[in-house]
Amino acid sequence: MSEARHFRVTIAYDGSAYHGWQRQDNAVTVQEVFEKALRGLTGQDITVQGCSRTDTGVHAREYVLSFSLDSTITCRGIRFGMNSRLPDDIAVLKCEEAPADFHARYCCKGKEYEYIIHNSQVKDPFYRNTALRCWYPIDEKKLDRAAKHFVGTHDFKAMCSTACTKENTVRTIYRFDVRREGDLVIFTVSGNGFLYNMVRIMVGTLLFVNEGKIAEEQLPGIISSLDRKRAGKTVPPQGLYLNKVYYDEGFDGFERG
């Protein structure tokens, strides 16, 4: 048997058919499907480490995973071999050898998410699983201004699910922008880490600002209150995308904004 080699693989996936990334006993997940394809390619049972626990229905344009393998297979062989075995809603974008101590989750320095809203009175079947439809007119300039209240280091307990088990709920948001592209309103947020449902609750809170249910100037007080009940709704998962994952040793999210 050859000496173990370590790999860093970047994938993209449409999460519509999956119950998130992490393997579960009673539901199909991206991790399970990826590991099954990897077993078919290598003949080995390999546990893959993912960079994030994406929820049911959430998508990823850039998702990083890591694993070790006793094989002489090349990175090109992994990329092409996996893409021939994976379903069409999961793709290997890149494969590279990594240091032995690289871990997709623990080495991550920051992430960027996008949330997409189809803002139209007429539904579009092509956005059914890839964006949230909202018929109420959205003032993207107002929400871009309001989103800046989230930037900085805060205790985001008010912006995470009550099911969140993290004891430390302090996170740093590097940037939060809202822009319009035709009928699509796109929320882009990057930070050093995110709590359970945090992005979906922040977007839902901004939608409450848009609808006049929360005043923009109330946002700092809502954040500091640590009270989930004062924030907005949790928007559905289909509009959420893990957009980028950062590992650079010198990564400074404020410079990336």
**256 pLDDT band (50/70/90 cuts)?**
very low
DSSP structural state of residue 12: E
- What percent of the chain is predicted at pLDDT more than 90? 89
CATH number for the domain including 179? 3.30.70.660
pLDDT in tens, 61-77: 999 999 999 989 999 99
Active-site residue, selected from the candidate residues 45, 55, 155, 252: 55
Q: Which domain holds residue 124?
A: 110-256
Residues 245 and 63 sit within 8 Å (Cβ to Cβ):
yes
Residue 103 lies in a domain: no
Among the three residues 97, 120, 151, which one is the final residue of a domain in this structure?
A: 97
In this structure, the answer to whether residues 123 and 238 fall within a common structural domain is: yes
In this structure, the answer to whether residues 90 and 162 fall within a common structural domain is: no
In this structure, the answer to whether residues 59 and 135 fall within a common structural domain is: no
Q: Is the pLDDT of residue 51 over 60?
A: yes
Among the three residues 97, 130, 161, which one is the final residue of a domain in this structure?
A: 97
What is the DSSP track for 208-249? Answer: HHHTTSS-GGGHHHHHHHT-GGGS-----GGGEEEEEEE--T
Average pLDDT over the chain, rounded to whole?
A: 93
Quote the pLDDT of residue 167. Answer: 83
pLDDT in tens, 142-188: 999 999 999 999 999 999 987 777 789 999 999 999 999 999 999 99
Among the three residues 37, 72, 97, which one is the final residue of a domain in this structure?
A: 97
CA triple 230-235-236, angle to 5 deg: 150
CATH number for the domain including 54? 3.30.70.580
Residue 236 lies in a domain: yes
Residue 248 annotated among the catalytic residues of the structure: no
Number of domains the chain is built from: 2
In this structure, the answer to whether residues 76 and 149 fall within a common structural domain is: no
Give the mean pLDDT of 30-59: 95
